[in-house]
Structure 1
Amino acid sequence: MKIDPDSPADLSAQIANAIREAIVDGELRVDERLPSEAELSEQFGVSRPTVREALKRLGAQSLIRTQRGASGGAFVNKLTYSEAYGQQITTSTLLLSMNAVSFPTACEARYALERACALLSAGRRTPDHLAIMRAEAHKQSQPGLSDEAFCASDVAFHRALVDAAGNPVLSYQLAGAVEAMQPLMNMITFTARSREKIVALHSGIVDALEAQDADTVDGLLEDLATYTNELAQSVFEERSKAHKSNSQFGA
Protein backbone atom coordinates (compact mmCIF):
# COMPACT_ATOMS: atom_id res chain seq x y z
CA MET A 1 0.00 0.00 0.00
CA LYS A 2 1.51 3.29 -1.12
CA ILE A 3 0.63 6.98 -1.35
CA ASP A 4 2.18 9.94 -3.18
CA PRO A 5 3.28 12.53 -0.60
CA ASP A 6 3.83 15.06 -3.40
CA SER A 7 0.27 14.75 -4.65
CA PRO A 8 -2.10 17.66 -3.87
CA ALA A 9 -4.71 15.13 -2.79
CA ASP A 10 -5.45 14.94 0.93
CA LEU A 11 -3.10 12.42 2.59
CA SER A 12 -5.83 10.84 4.69
CA ALA A 13 -7.91 10.33 1.51
CA GLN A 14 -4.90 8.73 -0.22
CA ILE A 15 -4.39 6.36 2.71
CA ALA A 16 -8.09 5.46 2.77
CA ASN A 17 -7.99 4.76 -0.97
CA ALA A 18 -4.86 2.61 -0.62
CA ILE A 19 -6.47 0.50 2.12
CA ARG A 20 -9.72 0.30 0.17
CA GLU A 21 -7.85 -1.00 -2.89
CA ALA A 22 -6.10 -3.57 -0.72
CA ILE A 23 -9.49 -4.78 0.52
CA VAL A 24 -10.97 -4.90 -2.99
CA ASP A 25 -7.90 -6.72 -4.35
CA GLY A 26 -8.07 -9.29 -1.56
CA GLU A 27 -4.79 -8.29 0.06
CA LEU A 28 -6.79 -7.57 3.19
CA ARG A 29 -9.52 -10.12 3.84
CA VAL A 30 -12.81 -9.95 5.72
CA ASP A 31 -12.26 -9.96 9.52
CA GLU A 32 -8.51 -9.44 9.07
CA ARG A 33 -7.00 -6.97 11.51
CA LEU A 34 -5.38 -3.89 10.00
CA PRO A 35 -1.94 -2.76 11.19
CA SER A 36 -2.07 -0.47 14.22
CA GLU A 37 -2.23 3.31 13.86
CA ALA A 38 1.47 3.48 14.77
CA GLU A 39 2.37 0.86 12.15
CA LEU A 40 0.28 2.58 9.47
CA SER A 41 1.79 5.92 10.43
CA GLU A 42 5.29 4.52 9.94
CA GLN A 43 4.33 2.68 6.74
CA PHE A 44 2.85 5.75 5.06
CA GLY A 45 5.22 8.28 6.62
CA VAL A 46 2.44 10.41 8.09
CA SER A 47 1.21 11.43 11.53
CA ARG A 48 -1.13 9.25 13.57
CA PRO A 49 -3.96 11.85 13.37
CA THR A 50 -3.75 11.57 9.56
CA VAL A 51 -4.04 7.78 9.80
CA ARG A 52 -6.92 8.16 12.25
CA GLU A 53 -8.78 10.38 9.79
CA ALA A 54 -8.24 7.82 7.02
CA LEU A 55 -9.69 5.08 9.22
CA LYS A 56 -12.70 7.29 9.98
CA ARG A 57 -13.31 7.61 6.24
CA LEU A 58 -13.22 3.84 5.82
CA GLY A 59 -15.49 3.37 8.81
CA ALA A 60 -18.03 5.80 7.36
CA GLN A 61 -18.10 3.63 4.24
CA SER A 62 -18.61 0.49 6.38
CA LEU A 63 -15.39 -0.99 4.99
CA ILE A 64 -13.83 -1.40 8.43
CA ARG A 65 -15.06 -1.74 12.00
CA THR A 66 -13.24 -0.95 15.22
CA GLN A 67 -13.14 -2.96 18.43
CA ARG A 68 -11.88 -1.92 21.83
CA GLY A 69 -9.87 -3.91 24.31
CA ALA A 70 -6.70 -5.97 24.28
CA SER A 71 -7.80 -7.82 21.15
CA GLY A 72 -9.25 -4.69 19.57
CA GLY A 73 -8.20 -2.61 16.62
CA ALA A 74 -9.52 -1.96 13.12
CA PHE A 75 -10.82 -4.95 11.15
CA VAL A 76 -11.98 -5.43 7.58
CA ASN A 77 -15.76 -5.43 7.66
CA LYS A 78 -18.05 -7.66 5.64
CA LEU A 79 -20.12 -5.11 3.76
CA THR A 80 -23.73 -6.21 3.39
CA TYR A 81 -26.22 -5.11 0.74
CA SER A 82 -28.43 -3.60 3.43
CA GLU A 83 -25.57 -1.38 4.60
CA ALA A 84 -24.66 -0.39 1.05
CA TYR A 85 -28.33 0.27 0.27
CA GLY A 86 -28.47 3.36 2.44
CA GLN A 87 -25.22 4.71 1.01
CA GLN A 88 -26.57 4.28 -2.52
CA ILE A 89 -29.70 6.28 -1.66
CA THR A 90 -27.68 9.08 -0.09
CA THR A 91 -25.26 9.24 -3.02
CA SER A 92 -28.07 9.25 -5.59
CA THR A 93 -29.97 11.97 -3.74
CA LEU A 94 -26.88 14.18 -3.61
CA LEU A 95 -26.06 13.47 -7.25
CA LEU A 96 -29.52 14.49 -8.38
CA SER A 97 -29.63 17.65 -6.28
CA MET A 98 -26.09 18.86 -6.92
CA ASN A 99 -26.03 18.22 -10.65
CA ALA A 100 -29.51 19.55 -11.41
CA VAL A 101 -30.51 16.50 -13.45
CA SER A 102 -33.50 17.31 -15.63
CA PHE A 103 -36.82 15.70 -14.81
CA PRO A 104 -37.10 13.84 -18.17
CA THR A 105 -33.59 12.43 -17.69
CA ALA A 106 -34.32 11.25 -14.14
CA CYS A 107 -37.69 9.81 -15.20
CA GLU A 108 -36.16 7.96 -18.15
CA ALA A 109 -33.48 6.39 -15.95
CA ARG A 110 -35.92 5.63 -13.16
CA TYR A 111 -38.38 3.64 -15.24
CA ALA A 112 -35.85 2.09 -17.63
CA LEU A 113 -34.13 0.53 -14.62
CA GLU A 114 -37.37 -0.66 -13.07
CA ARG A 115 -38.69 -2.10 -16.35
CA ALA A 116 -35.49 -4.13 -16.51
CA CYS A 117 -36.81 -5.99 -13.44
CA ALA A 118 -40.22 -6.79 -14.95
CA LEU A 119 -39.33 -10.20 -16.37
CA LEU A 120 -37.55 -11.39 -13.24
CA SER A 121 -40.19 -9.97 -10.90
CA ALA A 122 -43.00 -11.64 -12.83
CA GLY A 123 -41.24 -14.98 -12.57
CA ARG A 124 -40.04 -14.76 -8.99
CA ARG A 125 -42.61 -12.70 -7.08
CA THR A 126 -43.79 -14.30 -3.87
CA PRO A 127 -47.15 -14.02 -2.08
CA ASP A 128 -45.44 -11.62 0.34
CA HIS A 129 -44.36 -9.28 -2.46
CA LEU A 130 -47.87 -9.30 -3.90
CA ALA A 131 -49.42 -8.72 -0.48
CA ILE A 132 -47.16 -5.71 0.17
CA MET A 133 -47.95 -4.17 -3.20
CA ARG A 134 -51.71 -4.71 -2.84
CA ALA A 135 -51.63 -3.24 0.66
CA GLU A 136 -49.81 -0.15 -0.60
CA ALA A 137 -52.18 0.27 -3.55
CA HIS A 138 -55.12 0.03 -1.15
CA LYS A 139 -53.50 2.59 1.18
CA GLN A 140 -53.03 4.96 -1.76
CA SER A 141 -56.75 4.81 -2.51
CA GLN A 142 -57.70 6.15 0.93
CA PRO A 143 -59.12 9.69 0.64
CA GLY A 144 -57.59 10.98 3.87
CA LEU A 145 -54.02 9.96 3.02
CA SER A 146 -51.57 12.88 3.16
CA ASP A 147 -49.23 13.67 0.28
CA GLU A 148 -46.25 12.63 2.41
CA ALA A 149 -47.87 9.29 3.25
CA PHE A 150 -48.85 8.74 -0.39
CA CYS A 151 -45.24 9.36 -1.44
CA ALA A 152 -43.92 6.92 1.18
CA SER A 153 -46.46 4.31 0.05
CA ASP A 154 -45.48 4.88 -3.58
CA VAL A 155 -41.83 4.20 -2.73
CA ALA A 156 -42.77 1.07 -0.74
CA PHE A 157 -44.84 -0.21 -3.68
CA HIS A 158 -42.01 0.15 -6.20
CA ARG A 159 -39.40 -1.17 -3.81
CA ALA A 160 -41.47 -4.35 -3.43
CA LEU A 161 -41.68 -4.62 -7.21
CA VAL A 162 -37.90 -4.38 -7.49
CA ASP A 163 -37.30 -6.75 -4.56
CA ALA A 164 -39.63 -9.28 -6.24
CA ALA A 165 -36.89 -9.82 -8.84
CA GLY A 166 -35.06 -11.75 -6.12
CA ASN A 167 -31.69 -10.26 -7.04
CA PRO A 168 -29.89 -8.29 -4.29
CA VAL A 169 -27.56 -6.67 -6.83
CA LEU A 170 -30.53 -5.25 -8.73
CA SER A 171 -32.18 -4.13 -5.49
CA TYR A 172 -28.98 -2.31 -4.54
CA GLN A 173 -28.54 -0.73 -7.97
CA LEU A 174 -32.15 0.47 -8.02
CA ALA A 175 -32.10 1.81 -4.46
CA GLY A 176 -31.24 5.27 -5.72
CA ALA A 177 -33.75 5.08 -8.54
CA VAL A 178 -36.65 4.11 -6.30
CA GLU A 179 -35.84 5.89 -3.05
CA ALA A 180 -34.08 8.99 -4.39
CA MET A 181 -35.73 9.66 -7.76
CA GLN A 182 -39.26 8.61 -6.82
CA PRO A 183 -39.64 11.13 -3.95
CA LEU A 184 -38.25 13.82 -6.26
CA MET A 185 -40.86 12.98 -8.89
CA ASN A 186 -43.65 12.88 -6.33
CA MET A 187 -42.59 16.26 -4.93
CA ILE A 188 -42.82 17.86 -8.38
CA THR A 189 -45.97 16.16 -9.66
CA PHE A 190 -48.21 15.75 -6.59
CA THR A 191 -50.26 18.89 -7.28
CA ALA A 192 -51.31 17.67 -10.73
CA ARG A 193 -51.56 13.91 -10.41
CA SER A 194 -54.70 11.83 -10.27
CA ARG A 195 -54.35 9.38 -7.42
CA GLU A 196 -57.08 7.27 -8.96
CA LYS A 197 -55.06 6.84 -12.15
CA ILE A 198 -51.90 5.92 -10.26
CA VAL A 199 -53.78 3.44 -8.09
CA ALA A 200 -55.31 1.90 -11.22
CA LEU A 201 -51.87 1.49 -12.79
CA HIS A 202 -50.43 0.06 -9.58
CA SER A 203 -53.32 -2.40 -9.23
CA GLY A 204 -52.85 -3.47 -12.82
CA ILE A 205 -49.15 -4.08 -12.20
CA VAL A 206 -49.91 -6.31 -9.20
CA ASP A 207 -52.51 -8.26 -11.18
CA ALA A 208 -50.02 -8.78 -14.02
CA LEU A 209 -47.31 -9.88 -11.61
CA GLU A 210 -49.66 -12.37 -10.02
CA ALA A 211 -50.44 -13.73 -13.49
CA GLN A 212 -46.69 -13.75 -14.24
CA ASP A 213 -47.37 -11.56 -17.28
CA ALA A 214 -44.09 -9.69 -17.70
CA ASP A 215 -45.14 -7.96 -20.93
CA THR A 216 -48.13 -6.34 -19.26
CA VAL A 217 -46.01 -5.28 -16.29
CA ASP A 218 -43.55 -3.68 -18.69
CA GLY A 219 -46.33 -1.93 -20.60
CA LEU A 220 -47.92 -0.55 -17.45
CA LEU A 221 -44.58 0.76 -16.20
CA GLU A 222 -44.15 2.47 -19.56
CA ASP A 223 -47.62 4.00 -19.16
CA LEU A 224 -46.67 5.17 -15.67
CA ALA A 225 -43.48 6.75 -17.01
CA THR A 226 -45.42 8.56 -19.75
CA TYR A 227 -48.01 9.80 -17.27
CA THR A 228 -45.30 10.98 -14.86
CA ASN A 229 -43.61 12.99 -17.62
CA GLU A 230 -46.94 14.49 -18.68
CA LEU A 231 -47.64 15.55 -15.10
CA ALA A 232 -44.24 17.20 -14.78
CA GLN A 233 -44.68 19.04 -18.07
CA SER A 234 -48.05 20.41 -16.98
CA VAL A 235 -46.61 21.52 -13.63
CA PHE A 236 -43.67 23.27 -15.29
CA GLU A 237 -46.00 24.99 -17.76
CA GLU A 238 -48.22 26.26 -14.93
CA ARG A 239 -45.19 27.53 -13.05
CA SER A 240 -43.96 29.32 -16.16
CA LYS A 241 -47.35 30.98 -16.66
CA ALA A 242 -47.47 32.03 -13.02
CA HIS A 243 -43.96 33.44 -13.23
CA LYS A 244 -44.80 35.47 -16.35
CA SER A 245 -47.99 36.75 -14.73
CA ASN A 246 -46.15 37.79 -11.59
CA SER A 247 -43.46 39.49 -13.66
CA GLN A 248 -46.06 41.47 -15.63
CA PHE A 249 -47.87 42.44 -12.43
CA GLY A 250 -44.63 43.56 -10.85
CA ALA A 251 -43.77 45.63 -13.90
Structure 2
Amino acid sequence: MKIDPKNRADLSAQIAKAIRDAIISGDLIVDERLPSESELADQFDVSRPTVREALKRLAAQNLIRTQRGATGGAFVRRLDYDEAQSQHVTTSRLLLSMNAVDFQTACEARFALERACSPLSAERRSPDHLATMRAEIHRQSQPGLSDEGFCDSDVAFHRALVDGAGNPVLSYQLAGAVEAMQPLMNMITFTARSREEIISLHARIADAIEASDATAADAALSELTTYTLSLGQKAMAARAARSH
Protein backbone atom coordinates (compact mmCIF):
# COMPACT_ATOMS: atom_id res chain seq x y z
CA MET A 1 0.00 0.00 0.00
CA LYS A 2 1.49 3.31 -1.11
CA ILE A 3 0.59 6.99 -1.35
CA ASP A 4 2.18 9.96 -3.07
CA PRO A 5 3.38 12.38 -0.35
CA LYS A 6 3.96 15.04 -3.01
CA ASN A 7 0.34 14.90 -4.07
CA ARG A 8 -1.61 17.87 -2.74
CA ALA A 9 -4.67 15.73 -2.15
CA ASP A 10 -5.60 15.06 1.46
CA LEU A 11 -3.10 12.52 2.82
CA SER A 12 -5.73 10.85 5.01
CA ALA A 13 -7.93 10.40 1.92
CA GLN A 14 -5.00 8.85 0.06
CA ILE A 15 -4.34 6.43 2.91
CA ALA A 16 -8.02 5.50 3.14
CA LYS A 17 -8.08 4.83 -0.61
CA ALA A 18 -4.91 2.71 -0.42
CA ILE A 19 -6.42 0.56 2.33
CA ARG A 20 -9.78 0.38 0.55
CA ASP A 21 -8.06 -0.73 -2.66
CA ALA A 22 -6.21 -3.42 -0.69
CA ILE A 23 -9.53 -4.68 0.68
CA ILE A 24 -11.15 -4.70 -2.76
CA SER A 25 -8.20 -6.50 -4.34
CA GLY A 26 -8.19 -9.14 -1.59
CA ASP A 27 -4.78 -8.20 -0.23
CA LEU A 28 -6.62 -7.49 3.02
CA ILE A 29 -9.32 -10.07 3.78
CA VAL A 30 -12.43 -10.00 5.96
CA ASP A 31 -11.63 -10.03 9.71
CA GLU A 32 -7.93 -9.43 9.09
CA ARG A 33 -6.35 -7.07 11.58
CA LEU A 34 -4.85 -3.92 10.09
CA PRO A 35 -1.41 -2.75 11.24
CA SER A 36 -1.50 -0.48 14.30
CA GLU A 37 -1.75 3.30 13.95
CA SER A 38 1.96 3.67 14.64
CA GLU A 39 2.83 0.96 12.10
CA LEU A 40 0.63 2.59 9.47
CA ALA A 41 2.14 5.99 10.27
CA ASP A 42 5.61 4.56 9.68
CA GLN A 43 4.52 2.75 6.54
CA PHE A 44 2.97 5.84 4.96
CA ASP A 45 5.46 8.27 6.55
CA VAL A 46 2.73 10.43 8.07
CA SER A 47 1.59 11.41 11.56
CA ARG A 48 -0.67 9.20 13.67
CA PRO A 49 -3.51 11.79 13.59
CA THR A 50 -3.44 11.54 9.79
CA VAL A 51 -3.72 7.76 10.01
CA ARG A 52 -6.48 8.10 12.60
CA GLU A 53 -8.45 10.33 10.22
CA ALA A 54 -8.01 7.79 7.42
CA LEU A 55 -9.36 5.02 9.65
CA LYS A 56 -12.36 7.19 10.54
CA ARG A 57 -13.10 7.54 6.83
CA LEU A 58 -12.95 3.78 6.36
CA ALA A 59 -15.17 3.19 9.41
CA ALA A 60 -17.72 5.68 8.03
CA GLN A 61 -17.82 3.58 4.85
CA ASN A 62 -18.36 0.42 6.96
CA LEU A 63 -15.14 -1.07 5.58
CA ILE A 64 -13.46 -1.55 8.95
CA ARG A 65 -14.51 -2.12 12.55
CA THR A 66 -12.59 -1.31 15.71
CA GLN A 67 -12.17 -3.53 18.75
CA ARG A 68 -10.77 -2.59 22.14
CA GLY A 69 -8.61 -4.60 24.47
CA ALA A 70 -5.40 -6.56 24.24
CA THR A 71 -6.54 -8.26 21.04
CA GLY A 72 -8.13 -5.09 19.69
CA GLY A 73 -7.37 -2.84 16.76
CA ALA A 74 -8.92 -2.15 13.38
CA PHE A 75 -10.25 -5.10 11.38
CA VAL A 76 -11.60 -5.50 7.87
CA ARG A 77 -15.37 -5.60 8.18
CA ARG A 78 -17.75 -7.81 6.23
CA LEU A 79 -20.08 -5.45 4.38
CA ASP A 80 -23.63 -6.73 3.93
CA TYR A 81 -26.09 -5.79 1.21
CA ASP A 82 -28.45 -3.84 3.50
CA GLU A 83 -25.68 -1.45 4.49
CA ALA A 84 -24.43 -1.18 0.92
CA GLN A 85 -27.96 -0.42 -0.30
CA SER A 86 -28.33 2.38 2.24
CA GLN A 87 -25.17 4.06 0.95
CA HIS A 88 -26.23 3.47 -2.66
CA VAL A 89 -29.63 5.08 -2.09
CA THR A 90 -28.06 8.08 -0.35
CA THR A 91 -25.60 8.63 -3.20
CA SER A 92 -28.32 8.29 -5.85
CA ARG A 93 -30.58 10.68 -3.97
CA LEU A 94 -27.78 13.25 -3.74
CA LEU A 95 -27.18 13.03 -7.48
CA LEU A 96 -30.85 13.61 -8.16
CA SER A 97 -31.23 16.45 -5.67
CA MET A 98 -28.24 18.21 -7.23
CA ASN A 99 -29.87 17.89 -10.66
CA ALA A 100 -27.07 15.72 -12.00
CA VAL A 101 -29.78 13.44 -13.44
CA ASP A 102 -32.96 14.72 -15.08
CA PHE A 103 -36.43 13.26 -14.61
CA GLN A 104 -36.63 11.39 -17.92
CA THR A 105 -33.20 9.79 -17.47
CA ALA A 106 -34.04 8.69 -13.93
CA CYS A 107 -37.42 7.32 -14.98
CA GLU A 108 -36.04 5.41 -17.97
CA ALA A 109 -33.23 3.89 -15.88
CA ARG A 110 -35.52 2.85 -13.05
CA PHE A 111 -38.10 1.11 -15.21
CA ALA A 112 -35.55 -0.47 -17.56
CA LEU A 113 -33.85 -2.08 -14.55
CA GLU A 114 -37.15 -3.11 -13.00
CA ARG A 115 -38.44 -4.67 -16.22
CA ALA A 116 -35.23 -6.68 -16.42
CA CYS A 117 -35.88 -7.90 -12.88
CA SER A 118 -39.59 -8.77 -13.18
CA PRO A 119 -39.21 -12.11 -15.06
CA LEU A 120 -37.09 -13.43 -12.20
CA SER A 121 -39.64 -12.17 -9.68
CA ALA A 122 -42.42 -13.91 -11.61
CA GLU A 123 -40.45 -17.14 -11.30
CA ARG A 124 -39.04 -16.86 -7.76
CA ARG A 125 -41.28 -14.56 -5.65
CA SER A 126 -42.24 -15.87 -2.25
CA PRO A 127 -45.68 -15.66 -0.58
CA ASP A 128 -44.27 -12.87 1.61
CA HIS A 129 -43.32 -10.78 -1.43
CA LEU A 130 -46.81 -11.21 -2.88
CA ALA A 131 -48.42 -10.42 0.48
CA THR A 132 -46.42 -7.19 0.70
CA MET A 133 -47.45 -6.16 -2.81
CA ARG A 134 -51.12 -6.86 -2.07
CA ALA A 135 -50.93 -5.04 1.27
CA GLU A 136 -49.44 -1.96 -0.38
CA ILE A 137 -52.12 -1.95 -3.09
CA HIS A 138 -54.75 -2.04 -0.33
CA ARG A 139 -52.96 0.78 1.52
CA GLN A 140 -52.84 2.89 -1.64
CA SER A 141 -56.60 2.61 -2.04
CA GLN A 142 -57.35 4.12 1.39
CA PRO A 143 -59.14 7.49 1.00
CA GLY A 144 -57.26 9.23 3.82
CA LEU A 145 -53.76 8.27 2.66
CA SER A 146 -51.54 11.34 2.28
CA ASP A 147 -49.39 12.01 -0.79
CA GLU A 148 -46.31 11.19 1.30
CA GLY A 149 -47.92 7.95 2.48
CA PHE A 150 -48.79 7.03 -1.11
CA CYS A 151 -45.15 7.65 -2.09
CA ASP A 152 -43.89 5.41 0.71
CA SER A 153 -46.33 2.69 -0.27
CA ASP A 154 -45.36 2.98 -3.92
CA VAL A 155 -41.70 2.45 -3.01
CA ALA A 156 -42.57 -0.52 -0.77
CA PHE A 157 -44.61 -2.13 -3.56
CA HIS A 158 -41.82 -1.89 -6.10
CA ARG A 159 -39.19 -2.93 -3.57
CA ALA A 160 -41.17 -6.14 -2.97
CA LEU A 161 -41.32 -6.72 -6.72
CA VAL A 162 -37.55 -6.27 -7.00
CA ASP A 163 -36.72 -8.38 -3.93
CA GLY A 164 -38.98 -11.11 -5.27
CA ALA A 165 -36.29 -11.83 -7.88
CA GLY A 166 -34.26 -13.41 -5.08
CA ASN A 167 -31.03 -11.86 -6.31
CA PRO A 168 -29.24 -9.58 -3.80
CA VAL A 169 -27.04 -8.05 -6.49
CA LEU A 170 -30.10 -6.95 -8.47
CA SER A 171 -31.77 -5.70 -5.30
CA TYR A 172 -28.68 -3.63 -4.55
CA GLN A 173 -28.51 -2.16 -8.04
CA LEU A 174 -32.22 -1.38 -8.09
CA ALA A 175 -32.26 0.17 -4.62
CA GLY A 176 -30.86 3.40 -6.03
CA ALA A 177 -33.33 3.34 -8.90
CA VAL A 178 -36.46 2.51 -6.92
CA GLU A 179 -35.89 4.06 -3.49
CA ALA A 180 -33.88 7.14 -4.49
CA MET A 181 -35.51 7.94 -7.83
CA GLN A 182 -39.10 7.11 -6.96
CA PRO A 183 -39.64 9.96 -4.46
CA LEU A 184 -38.42 12.42 -7.09
CA MET A 185 -40.76 11.00 -9.70
CA ASN A 186 -43.68 11.01 -7.27
CA MET A 187 -43.00 14.61 -6.22
CA ILE A 188 -43.02 15.78 -9.83
CA THR A 189 -46.23 13.93 -10.67
CA PHE A 190 -48.17 14.60 -7.43
CA THR A 191 -50.74 16.95 -8.93
CA ALA A 192 -51.22 15.24 -12.27
CA ARG A 193 -51.36 11.54 -11.57
CA SER A 194 -54.42 9.40 -11.03
CA ARG A 195 -54.11 7.17 -8.00
CA GLU A 196 -56.71 4.89 -9.51
CA GLU A 197 -54.56 4.41 -12.62
CA ILE A 198 -51.47 3.63 -10.53
CA ILE A 199 -53.37 1.20 -8.32
CA SER A 200 -54.85 -0.54 -11.36
CA LEU A 201 -51.40 -0.99 -12.90
CA HIS A 202 -49.99 -2.21 -9.59
CA ALA A 203 -52.80 -4.77 -9.34
CA ARG A 204 -52.04 -6.01 -12.86
CA ILE A 205 -48.35 -6.34 -11.99
CA ALA A 206 -49.14 -8.26 -8.79
CA ASP A 207 -51.59 -10.53 -10.62
CA ALA A 208 -48.99 -11.30 -13.28
CA ILE A 209 -46.27 -11.99 -10.71
CA GLU A 210 -48.61 -14.29 -8.78
CA ALA A 211 -49.49 -16.13 -12.00
CA SER A 212 -45.78 -16.39 -12.92
CA ASP A 213 -46.66 -14.55 -16.14
CA ALA A 214 -43.50 -12.57 -16.98
CA THR A 215 -44.98 -11.28 -20.26
CA ALA A 216 -48.02 -9.76 -18.56
CA ALA A 217 -45.86 -8.25 -15.82
CA ASP A 218 -43.61 -6.64 -18.42
CA ALA A 219 -46.61 -5.28 -20.32
CA ALA A 220 -48.01 -3.64 -17.17
CA LEU A 221 -44.61 -2.21 -16.26
CA SER A 222 -44.27 -0.88 -19.80
CA GLU A 223 -47.60 0.92 -19.46
CA LEU A 224 -46.54 2.30 -16.08
CA THR A 225 -43.31 3.58 -17.67
CA THR A 226 -45.20 5.35 -20.47
CA TYR A 227 -47.74 6.79 -18.04
CA THR A 228 -45.09 8.09 -15.62
CA LEU A 229 -42.98 9.62 -18.40
CA SER A 230 -46.05 11.34 -19.83
CA LEU A 231 -46.97 12.80 -16.43
CA GLY A 232 -43.42 13.97 -15.88
CA GLN A 233 -43.20 15.67 -19.24
CA LYS A 234 -46.50 17.48 -18.64
CA ALA A 235 -45.44 18.54 -15.15
CA MET A 236 -42.09 19.87 -16.39
CA ALA A 237 -43.77 21.71 -19.27
CA ALA A 238 -46.24 23.32 -16.89
CA ARG A 239 -43.37 24.36 -14.62
CA ALA A 240 -41.49 25.89 -17.54
CA ALA A 241 -44.60 27.78 -18.63
CA ARG A 242 -45.11 29.24 -15.15
CA SER A 243 -41.50 30.44 -15.01
CA HIS A 244 -41.94 32.59 -18.15
Residue aligning to 2:170: 170
Range with greater deviation from structure 2 (23-32 or 177-186): 23-32
Q: May I ask how many residue pairs the two structures share in their alignment?
A: 244
Query: Which amino acid in structure 2 is aligned with residue 85 of structure 1?
Result: Q
Residue aligning to 1:126: 126
CA RMSD of aligned residues (A): 1.0
Q: State the TM-score, normalizing by the size of structure 1.
A: 0.95
Matching of residues 146-185 of structure 1 within 5 Å: 146-185=146-185
Query: Which amino acid in structure 2 is aligned with residue 200 of structure 1?
Result: S
Residue aligning to 2:4: 4
Q: Deviations over 1:223-249 (max 9, x none)?
A: 1111111111221222233333xxxxx
How far 1:17 sits from its partner (Å)? 0.9
Q: Structure 2: where are the runs of 5+ without partners?
A: none
Residue aligning to 1:247: none
How far 1:133 sits from its partner (Å)? 0.1
Query: Which amino acid in structure 2 is aligned with residue 122 of structure 1?
Result: A
Partners of 2:100 and 2:147 in 1: how far apart?
A: 24
Q: Does 1:101 align with 2:101?
A: yes
Partners of 2:202 and 2:111 in 1: how far apart?
A: 14
Residue aligning to 1:27: 27
Residue aligning to 2:217: 217
Partners of 2:240 and 2:11 in 1: how far apart?
A: 48
Partners of 1:98 and 1:207 in 2: how far apart?
A: 37
How far 1:28 sits from its partner (Å)? 1.2
Matching of residues 1-251 of structure 1 within 5 Å: 1-244=1-244
Partners of 1:83 and 1:131 in 2: how far apart?
A: 25
Runs of 4+ aligned structure 1 residues displaced above 3 Å come to none
Q: Deviations over 1:19-71 (max 9, x none)?
A: 11111121111111111101100100001111011101110111100111222
Q: Structure 1: where are the runs of 5+ without partners?
A: 245-251
Partners of 1:68 and 1:24 in 2: how far apart?
A: 25
Percent identity over the alignment is 73
Partners of 2:241 and 2:16 in 1: how far apart?
A: 51
